[in-house]
């Protein structure tokens, strides 16, 4: 008998394994359970039906083009006020991508920064075209819905026009940053200046309708309740049902070091690996194959928990994340791996490591 069949969660898990949609209440019940073995075994069963024992990864870099930001999120240790940080020129940004393409063979650059009033849409168009000219083999995965909203308001043009221009300049896909928790109560505490839940969903839906795929995200372990976590997952599922285009779900825990939120709320420690495993497993059971890929979330929890995540429903390790600057700003010590490290870690978890491209296609 399988572990979940002996669990109180069996009716909900069986429903998910049969491809039926879970309610918010059922997702909340899964997220509230301490029966991690049942959740993990069931989520892994679902993952294996889809991908067998293959787990993918991508060689990529993070390009944090600026750390100056007027949104001033309380959970962020990276941002600086305008005039106190840096802003890369488009040429310097393209040079950084060219260097990593030459040294590491990257296939993707993830471009995100702050909401910096010094930049405009022409800045990104110039940057993207320069990257495409120098490194056409590197896909541009760029700008969060928050940054897109800023450009729309700055230029007094529609989100559709912003995204169309960025796509024409070379943007292939869009990361789902700025989601945090899609609940207004939580957002007002974390980042009162950030766009609303409705606006975030609208921008991602517009991207999908323009043929720009996205990833969707969740940051947990701060001021949210379990029911709010469940609601977040359901909103992501409903978005995908309305306008398909999200390729992957990525979760990570709030890292409190050097943040205003930690000081205000007296949060001393991040949530442990068990919480990430629970979120990953429940996400797989909630989304099924609707959002096809779930990442292991190695950056904030390290390789050991990420290896477990590959047995808890995750099918993708994520990227090498060369030059990522946001999490190290919290004081967390991060060892950024080379490709050989990632392959060894995936295989150490009993999986078959396969390199992929920006659109999650195996390239070997």
Quick one: angle between helices 197-209 and 145-155, nearest 10? 90
Quick one: angle between helices 226-242 and 24-32, nearest 10? 130
pLDDT of residue 325: 54
pLDDT of residue 331: 47
- The token duo for 1 is 């008998």
Instruction: Say if 81 falls within a structural domain.
Output: yes
Instruction: Say if 362 falls within a structural domain.
Output: no
State how far the alpha carbon of 325 is from the alpha carbons of 10, 76, 208, 279, 285, in Å.
42, 11, 28, 25, 32
Average pLDDT of the chain, as a whole number: 91
Mark the binding-site residues for [4Fe-4S] cluster, compressed into ranges.
69, 73, 76
The pTM for the full model equals: 0.93
User: Which CATH number do you get for residue 275?
Assistant: 3.20.20.70
Instruction: Say if 363 falls within a structural domain.
Output: no
Most confidently modeled range among 64-73, 77-86, 133-142? 133-142
For residues 177 and 112, the answer to whether their CB atoms sit within 8 Å is yes
Mark the binding-site residues for (3R)-3-methyl-D-ornithine, compressed into ranges.
144
pLDDT of residue 327: 46
Q: What range does the domain containing 29 cover?
A: 22-355
Instruction: Say if 364 falls within a structural domain.
Output: no
For residues 83 and 120, the answer to whether their CB atoms sit within 8 Å is no
Residues 284-319 pLDDT 10s: 999 999 999 999 987 777 889 999 999 999 999 999
Instruction: Say if 96 falls within a structural domain.
Output: yes
Map tokens 């063979």 to a residue.
Answer: 105
Lowest mean pLDDT among 50-54, 146-150, 253-257: 253-257
Mark the binding-site residues for S-adenosyl-L-methionine, compressed into ranges.
75, 180
Mark the binding-site residues, compressed into ranges.
69, 73, 75-76, 144, 180
How many domains in the chain? 1
Instruction: Say if 7 falls within a structural domain.
Output: no
Instruction: Say if 8 falls within a structural domain.
Output: no
In the sheet with 214-220, reading across from the earlier edge strand, the strands are 214-220, 246-253, 293-294
Instruction: Please report the DSSP string for 5-25 in residue order.
Output: GGSTTHHHHHHHHTTPPPPHH
Q: Which of 155, 140, 297, 115 is nearest to 212 (CA)?
A: 140
Lowest mean pLDDT among 4-18, 192-206, 322-336: 322-336
Instruction: Say if 17 falls within a structural domain.
Output: no
Percent residues over pLDDT 90 in the chain: 73
Instruction: Please report the DSSP string for 74-123 in residue order.
Output: TT-SS-B-TTSS-B--HHHHHHHHHHHHHHH--SEEEE-----TT--HHH
pLDDT of residue 84: 82
For residues 54 and 351, the answer to whether their CB atoms sit within 8 Å is yes
């Amino acid at each position: 008998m399988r572990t979940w069949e002996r669990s109180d969660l069996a009716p909900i898990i069986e429903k998910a394994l049969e491809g039926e949609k879970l309610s918010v209440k059922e997702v909340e019940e899964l997220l509230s359970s301490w029966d991690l073995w049942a959740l993990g075994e069931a989520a892994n069963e679902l993952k294996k039906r889809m991908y067998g024992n293959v787990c993918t990864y991508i060689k990529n870099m993070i390009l944090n083009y600026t750390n100056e930001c007027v949104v001033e999120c309380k959970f962020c240790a990276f941002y600086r006020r305008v005039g106190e940080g840096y802003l890369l020129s488009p040429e310097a940004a393209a040079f950084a991508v060219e260097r990593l393409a030459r040294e590491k063979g990257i296939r993707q650059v993830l471009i995100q920064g702050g909401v910096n009033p010094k930049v405009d849409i022409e800045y990104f168009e110039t940057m993207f075209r320069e990257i495409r000219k120098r490194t056409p083999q590197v896909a541009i995965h760029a700008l969060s819905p928050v940054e897109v909203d800023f450009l729309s308001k700055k230029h007094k043009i529609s989100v559709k026009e912003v995204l169309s221009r960025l796509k024409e300049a070379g943007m292939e896909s869009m990361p789902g940053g700025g989601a945090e928790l899609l609940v207004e109560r939580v957002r007002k505490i974390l980042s009162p200046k950030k766009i609303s839940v409705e606006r975030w969903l609208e921008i991602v839906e517009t991207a999908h309708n323009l043929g720009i795929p996205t990833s969707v995200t969740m940051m947990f372990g701060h001021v949210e309740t379990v029911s709010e976590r469940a609601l977040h997952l359901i909103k992501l599922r409903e978005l995908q049902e309305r306008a398909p285009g999200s390729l992957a779900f990525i979760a990570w825990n709030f890292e409190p070091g050097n943040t205003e939120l930690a000081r205000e709320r007296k949060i001393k420690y991040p949530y442990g690996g068990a919480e990430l495993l629970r979120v990953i497993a429940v996400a797989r059971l909630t989304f099924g194959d609707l959002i096809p890929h779930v990442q292991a979330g190695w950056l904030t929890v390290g390789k050991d928990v990420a290896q477990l995540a590959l047995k808890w429903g995750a099918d993708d390790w994520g990227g090498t994340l060369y030059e990522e600057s946001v999490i190290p700003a919290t004081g967390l010590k991060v060892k950024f791996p080379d490709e050989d490290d990632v392959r060894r870690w995936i295989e150490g978890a009993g999986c078959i490591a396969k390199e992929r491209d920006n659109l999650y296609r195996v390239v070997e």
